[in-house]
């Protein structure tokens, strides 16, 4: 039964991810500008969508190997979110990340305060990370 809850969480994650990537939801996110900026992001979003569908099917059907694989993939994605967003927020952003942030995220909706070079995840990524965390916890609940 927990696998089905994990599958539902991954479904919500997939719907949210594809919506913020393919719909113009500014100022919530600038993902639409990035996605349609001829930088190859479209292919990544399609691949992620297909991978998430496979994860949903694997979790829904159950099975230890599918669940472990999904948990590993969700864990890797969470690690990327932590290393790219939260480390920069806690210890301060590098000059390169500060430039990227200024270009793509400085004018998006924010939930958390910023100070000095401590740049918070934008609201879009914050919500994405909460859904991702729920999916990870539920999929890891073997």
Report the pLDDT averaged over residues 3-13: 95
Shortest CA distance to 53 belongs to which of 20, 3, 7? 7
In this prediction the pTM is 0.89
β-sheet bridge partners, residue 115: 118
Tokens of 86: 């939260």
For the chain, give every domain's residue range.
2-140
Q: Convert the pLDDT of each residue in 28-77 to its tens digit.
A: 887 666 655 555 677 888 899 999 999 999 999 988 898 999 999 999 99
132 vs 116: CA distance, rounded Å: 28
């Amino acid at each position: 039964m927990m696998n089905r809850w994990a599958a539902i969480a991954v479904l919500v994650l997939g719907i949210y991810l594809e919506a913020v990537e393919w719909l113009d939801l500014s100022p919530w996110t600038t993902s639409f500008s990035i996605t349609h900026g001829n930088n190859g992001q479209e292919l990544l979003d399609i691949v992620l969508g297909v991978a998430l569908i496979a994860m949903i099917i694997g979790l829904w059907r159950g099975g230890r190997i599918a669940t472990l694989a999904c948990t590993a993939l969700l864990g890797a994605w969470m690690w990327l979110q932590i290393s790219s967003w939260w480390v920069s927020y806690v210890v301060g952003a590098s000059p390169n990340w500060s430039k990227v942030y200024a270009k793509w995220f400085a004018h998006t909706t924010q939930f958390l305060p910023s100070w000095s070079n401590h740049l918070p995840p934008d609201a879009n990524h914050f919500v994405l990370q909460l859904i991702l965390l729920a999916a990870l916890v539920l999929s890891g609940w073997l």
